[in-house]
Amino acid sequence: MTIPIYVKEISDDCNRGALAAILPIAQYVGVIIMYVLGTYLDYYHVVYCVIGVPILMTVLLLRAPESPNFLVKQGRIDDALECVALLRGLEKTDSRVKNEVENMEKTDAINKKLPEISTFKLVKNQKWRKWVFFIGILFTLRGWNGTLCIQTYAVSVLYSTGVTFKISPEILTFGFPVVMIATALLLTVFVERFERKRLLCLAHLITAICMVAIAVVTLLQSHGTDIPSWLPITAIVVISAAFSGGVSPLPYVLVTEMFPFAIRAKVIGIISVYGWFSIFIITFLHPILVTHIGSPNTYIIYGALNLLAAIFVIIFLPKTRGKSEAEIQKVMGTE
């Protein structure tokens, strides 16, 4: 929850999207490492191998700088200047460093004039309530887009298509996190060149098409039609790519850009908990849906949800790329 906030606060307007897109890359690297370890080691040896990672991270984080926004809020302006200079690779006396910190001071002065916003007041406030509601819908559709269900039950999904594979489905699933890492890297290139909402809309549309493709493959195979083995694999790979290259990271990029410092942590806290709850619900329901309505209908539902998400993103979410916090608030009508 705190990592997207921290990344947003240490980055500048021209690269915050790319830096935020790096976060899922680290997650997917961790996933593929766990896939490999889990293949060759038992549960306890896997735990022994990774137990040092959080310890190492704790030590490294002790050396990480505080965010400039936090330092300004604490009145430590000189420390904020040093921090911004370090993060931007500039001298402390550089005019760009001074201008950035001055803008933070102005924003902080405005925030201090506002009354303290509790979680209850945040939801009660008419202006912010609308956008919290929209972000809630976005994270619901993100969680229910079906990709994590397919990845969780990847082997079962491949077998359910009825297609005969030359390579064991257990081995084929190794390719999914590799593809996710590659597309997450591509996102770091394109996220600052194209509007976030368009990339997110495209990712949902691609996922919708591939979900329908898996449904059709499964349905045709059940009726005796011979389907090439590469077709369902390709559809799942593309779904994984769309998820890691758009559906998963971009909502977090948008939410850190849409909400100001004073309420950002509260909003991300609420949305993160709700988002993981949504993922838990659909992951729990997936095998039940497959059992009661069949695999084709389940994937059709996922396809419809992704189409709905694409329409929602284009119609309701604001453009944030390259805009300052004040400009985004003006577009949202919350200034």
Domains within the chain, CATH numbers bracketed: 117-332 (1.20.1250.20)
pLDDT digits (tens, 9 = 90+) for 79-96: 888 888 888 888 888 888
Out of 23-37, 112-126, 248-262, 267-281, least confident range: 112-126
Amino acid type, 127: K
| Mean pLDDT, residues 150-172 | 66
Say if CB 4 and CB 23 are below 8 A apart.
yes
pLDDT for the residue numbered 118: 66
Out of 90-104, 148-162, 320-334, least confident range: 148-162
Q: Three-state SS string across the chain, please?
A: CHHHHHHHHHCCCCCHHHHHHHHHHHHHHHHHHHHHHHHHCCHHHHHHHHCHHHHHHHHHHCCCCCCHHHHHHCCCHHHHHHHHHHHHCCCCCCHHHHHHHHHHHHHHHHHHHCCCCCHHHHHHCHHHHHHHHHHHHHHHHHHCCCHHHHHHCHHHHHHHCCCCCCCCHHHHCCHHHHHHHHHHHHHHHHCCCCCHHHHHHHHHHHHHHHHHHHHHHHHHHHCCCCCCCHHHHHHHHHHHHHHHHHHCCHHHHHHHHHCCHHHHHHHHHHHHHHHHHHHHHHHHHHHHHHHHHCHHHHHHHHHHHHHHHHHHHHHHCCCCCCCCHHHHHHHHCCC
d(CA 298, CA 303): 9
Contacts of 217 (CB under 8 A, 6+ apart): 161, 163, 227, 231, 232, 235
d(CA 168, CA 254): 39
Say if CB 109 and CB 77 are below 8 A apart.
no
For the cut 90, the answer to whether the pLDDT of residue 311 exceeds it is yes
| Mean pLDDT, residues 54-74 | 86
Average pLDDT, the chain: 83
| Mean pLDDT, residues 117-125 | 70
- Bigger pLDDT: 318 vs 26: 318
d(CA 228, CA 221): 10
For the cut 60, the answer to whether the pLDDT of residue 163 exceeds it is no
pLDDT for the residue numbered 125: 75
| Mean pLDDT, residues 276-280 | 91
Say if CB 290 and CB 298 are below 8 A apart.
yes
For the cut 80, the answer to whether the pLDDT of residue 253 exceeds it is yes
Nearest one of 252, 204, 319 to 23, comparing CA atoms = 252
